[in-house]
Chains A and B, each alone.
Chain A
Amino acid sequence: MKEKTKLVYKVIVGIFLCFLLLPLAVIFIWSFTKNWPWPKILPENFGLRGWLYFINPSSKSISTLIFSIFLSFTVTVITLGITIPAAKALALYRFKGKKLIELLIFAPIIVPTVTVAMGIHLQFIKIGLANTFLGVVLVQLIPCIPYSIRILKSVFELIGEDMELQAKVLGANSLQTFIYITFPILLPGVISAGSMAFIVSFSQYFLTFLIGGGKIVTFSMLMFPYIQSGDRMMGSVYSVVFILTTLTFLIIVEKLTNKFYKNKLKEHNYV
């Protein structure tokens, strides 16, 4: 009986994994396909046409990809810069208007960001932010903020203020306290908040399209026409690159911080 229920759970997990991963395997195959006519279950010939087009400098794919990573990285850094102090305030302080401010911060989850972008577009044109890098970065902060706060706030709630206070009692100034105490404890939370912000920013299509006005071209925007026109091979090439880029970024960040973290811990042990 017990073995049977265990098997049931394995089957459930297996079915879900098939649903989630099989489509990804299909785009991977499509990206190397030359010819895949109906009703073949596997392609007739394989080819590299899509990939060759992708690496060809005239398609501007690689330069757009690098630009996109840079843009999303900028958004991530600014998001962290403004959400770390805000999350601290929300987690550790009591003050007037807190409920209202929390509502405002989480509202971008409910209100579609494109709505906001359409509303602000005219103002952005007037003050010269439309069609600029800065304008796109500013508007992309909006969907990133609530997710980052959500993660960081719970981390701050978990660690509390005691460690900081101890450091201060022992004579550390605010900057020292932040660098040596708050930041290292926060780091895992910062990593997941930053990863989330990067993913949200990197995936934006309409927001960038609206505010960037076609002047600021991100990777999602290169990819969109292929998917819209149903070009499976090219759409698959770009999708595979998109997924691999995000995965690589996340793995690098995690590895780097693990390294940093371990070194810090080592130092800590020696002291």
Chain B
Amino acid sequence: MKVINLKEKLKPYLLLSPILFILITIFVSGIIMGFIQSLGYFKAVGLTQFSLQYYKDVLGSKGFLSSLSFSLYTAFTSSIIAIVCGVLLSYAILQIKGKKEVVESLYRVPVIVPHIVSVLLIYNILSQSGLIPRIFYEAGLINDHSQFPSVLYEGNGVGIIMAYLWKEIPFVALTTYTILSKVSNKLSDVARNLGGNKRQVFFYVLLPLIAPSVFSSFIIIFAFSFGAYEVPLLLGPTQPKALSVQAFIQYSSPILANRPYAMVYNILITLIALILTGLYYKAFEKTYKYHR
């Protein structure tokens, strides 16, 4: 009997062992190795002294704060807009009566499209020789493409935000729509019967129901857009550069002794993403408790 008990106790660990092996040998040790290198230990090029100098250099550099705020700004703005639009889109699809299989399959197409393609899409549409300036020209709103406001490669980050929105709105809508379509009819009918109007049903019945998954989608898209390289590299301005772009520039520098700087940026990105996620989580738990 005792043997069986032990076997049962060990079973979950046994089931988890392959995934833990991969995560520990690659993911955890990757972070640890990055951390060690960020402290200036990089034996391959003869750096064997641990020091905080690299952190001091990066944190004290002129570009750091503007890079940090640019990364936070683009990630935060795109995620908030994506959440609002995604929920709105899923709710609107739900309200349409009749056959909507086509709509249901069409709106999710961007989920399978990689970010570098969404960059191309935004470039085609919004660059100064893109489709929108052409339409403006045809409509007589501008006389030359240089009159169209430059929105890509600019400090306002519009290009980056648009590229993220194109990918993230369907992602959020997909998550919420799945839940809404399951629960919506019955519960909304109950609430409507009890005298609630549409707005009340949405805010007091449906929103609390989708809140946990909306929240986790927010975390996913925020952390992704905060740390991702492709989009800010391709659509971002020369100044300020996103933190991730800074890391990549240092990493691909032919001077190997610069490697620790790349790692400092990486560790900072990781730390900030983790801290913010923790804070969001705390805030969410608090508001969610009050709602209940």
- Residue numbers in B under 8 Å from A203 (CB-CB): 114-115
| Closest B residue, CB atoms, query A141 | B22
Does residue A131 face the partner (Cβ distance < 8 Å to B)? Answer: no
User: Are B95 and A6 closer than 8 Å at their CB atoms?
Assistant: yes
B247 CB contact (under 8 Å) in A82, A118, A199: A118
Residue of chain B at shortest CB distance from A146: B220
Query: From residue 5 to 34 of chain B, which have CB atoms closer than 8 A to chain A?
Result: 9, 11-13, 15-16, 18-20, 22-23, 26-34
Q: Are A142 and B26 in contact (CB under 8 A)?
A: yes
- Docked Cα-Cα span, A228 to B277, in Å, equals 32
Q: Which residue of B lies closest to A115 (CB)?
A: B266
B283 CB to closest chain A CB (Å) equals 16
How many A residues touch the partner, as a band?
A: 35 or more
Determine the distance from Cα of A104 to Cα of B234 in the docked complex, in whole angstroms: 31
Tell me which residues across on chain B come within 8 A of A214, comparing CB atoms.
Answer: none
A122 to B38, CA, bound (A): 13
* B contact residues around A5 at 8 Å (CB): 95, 198
Which residues of A36-63 are within 8 A (CB) of B? 38-41
Instruction: Check: B194 CB closer than 8 A to any chain A CB.
Output: no
A243 touches B33 (CB 8 A): no
Please determine whether A199 and B131 come into contact, CB atoms closer than 8 angstroms: no
Known: A16-B85, A86-B18, A119-B31. A95 touches B230 (CB 8 A): no
Q: How many angstroms between the C-alpha atoms of A90 and B223 in the bound complex? A: 24
Binary per-residue interface labels of chain B (211-240) against chain A in the complex, 1 for a CB within 8 Å, 0 otherwise: 000000001100110111110001000000
- Of A165-173, A179-187, A230-238, the one touching chain B: A230-238
Q: What 1/0 mask marks residues of chain B from 102 to 139 whose CB sits below 8 Å from any chain A CB?
A: 01001101111111110111111101010101110110
- Across the interface, B120 reaches (CB within 8 A) one of A27, A81, A82, namely A27
The answer to whether A89 touches B116 (Cβ under 8 A) is no
B93 lies within 8 A of chain A by Cβ: yes
Q: Is the pair A247, B263 in contact by a Cβ cutoff of 8 Å?
A: no
**B107 engages A12 (CB within 8 Å):** no
Q: For B248, what are the chain A residues with a Cβ–Cβ distance below 8 Å?
A: 114, 206
> B56-64, B201-209, B268-276: which lies at the A interface?
B268-276
Q: Within 8 Å CB of A142, what residues of B?
A: 22-23, 26-27
Contact A118 B251 (CB under 8 A): yes
Would you give the 0/1 interface string for A84-120, flagging 1 where the beta carbon is closer than 8 Å to chain B?
A: 0110111001010010010011011111101111111
B191 contacts A by Cβ under 8 Å:
no
Interface assignment of B262: CB less than 8 Å from any CB of chain A: yes
Interface residues of A in 1-38 (CB under 8 A from B): 5-6, 9-10, 12-13, 16-17, 19-24, 26-27, 30, 38
- Asked if A81 contacts B134 (CB within 8 A), the reply is no
Is there contact, CB below 8 Å, between A205 and B116? yes
A261 in the interface (beta carbon within 8 A): no
The answer to whether B22 and A145 have CB atoms under 8 Å apart is yes
Q: Is the CB–CB distance between B22 and A223 below 8 Å?
A: no
- Tell whether B166 is near chain A: CB-to-CB under 8 Å: yes
List, in ascending order, chain B residues with CB within 8 A of A110's CB: 219, 223, 270, 273-274, 277
Contact A235 B22 (CB under 8 A): no
A98 to B20 Cα, complex, angstroms: 12
Q: Which residues of B contact A108 (CB under 8 A)?
A: 23, 27
Assembled-state Cα–Cα distance A111/B34 (Å): 12
Q: Are A243 and B112 CB-contacts (below 8 A) given A88-B15, A120-B30, A122-B44? A: yes
Cα distance, A17 to B166, chains bound together (Å): 11
Cα distance, A114 to B13, chains bound together (Å):
28
C-alpha gap A162/B136 in the complex (Å): 63
Q: Is the CB of A83 within 8 A of B19?
A: yes
* Residues on the B chain within 8 Å of A40, using CB: 134
Is B169 in the interface zone, CB < 8 Å from A? Answer: yes
B119: min CB distance to chain A, Å: 6
Residues in chain A near residue B88, CB distance under 8 A:
12
**In the bound complex, how far is the Cα of B32 from the Cα of A93, in angstroms?**
30
Cβ contact within 8 Å between A39 and B134: yes
In the complex, which of the residues A6, A93, A250 contacts B112, with contact meaning CB atoms closer than 8 Å? A250
Chain A residues with Cβ below 8 Å from B251 are 118
Contact between A93 and B124, CB atoms less than 8 A apart: no
Contacts of A206 in B (CB 8 A): 229-230, 248
CB distance from B279 to the nearest CB of A (A): 12
Let me know if B89 is at the binding interface, CB within 8 A.
Answer: yes
Tell me whether A76 is interfacial, beta carbon within 8 Å. no
CB of B81, distance to nearest CB on chain A (Å) = 12
Q: Is A139 an interface residue (CB 8 A)?
A: yes
List 3 A-B pairs, minimum CB-CB distance, nearest first. A119-B34, A112-B227, A203-B114
Subset of 19 A-B contacts with CB under 8 Å: A5-B198, A6-B97, A10-B96, A16-B89, A23-B121, A24-B113, A26-B131, A85-B15, A85-B19, A86-B16, A89-B16, A98-B12, A105-B23, A110-B277, A112-B224, A118-B247, A142-B22, A239-B113, A247-B112
